[in-house]
Amino acid sequence: MVRGSDILLILVAIIFPPLAVAMISGCCSADFWINLLLTILGYIPGHLHAFWIIYKKMRAEEAYGPGGYTYLGNGNFVGNGPAVGGQYSGNPRKSFNQND
């Protein structure tokens, strides 16, 4: 389910991809610096990386509920505890990695 904050992130990513990544991972994370470099080297690669990070965040929200996850970096999220409303019945500490 797409939330208003996800739409805002997508709009920010269209205008300036590193800002969208910074809103998710923080301004001093490796993902931010990678995205900034990709945006400088080519605008499209920066977009692809930002949209990938936003997609992974949306998947973590579906599995763990809003705010029920922690960002580990490199597109990986891990749940903080039991899912909201029983949405996820697996291991709450299982992380979503890039192979999911």
Domain boundaries, the chain: 59-80+87-99
Query: Are 46 and 79 spatial neighbours (Cβ–Cβ below 8 Å)?
Result: no
pLDDT tens over the chain, length 100 residues: 677 888 999 999 999 999 999 998 888 889 999 999 999 998 899 999 999 999 888 888 888 877 778 878 777 788 886 555 545 445 555 555 545 5
Query: Are 79 and 69 spatial neighbours (Cβ–Cβ below 8 Å)?
Result: yes
pTM of the model: 0.73
Both tokens assigned to 5: 């904050």
Taking the mean position of all CA atoms in its chain, how far away is CA 81? 18
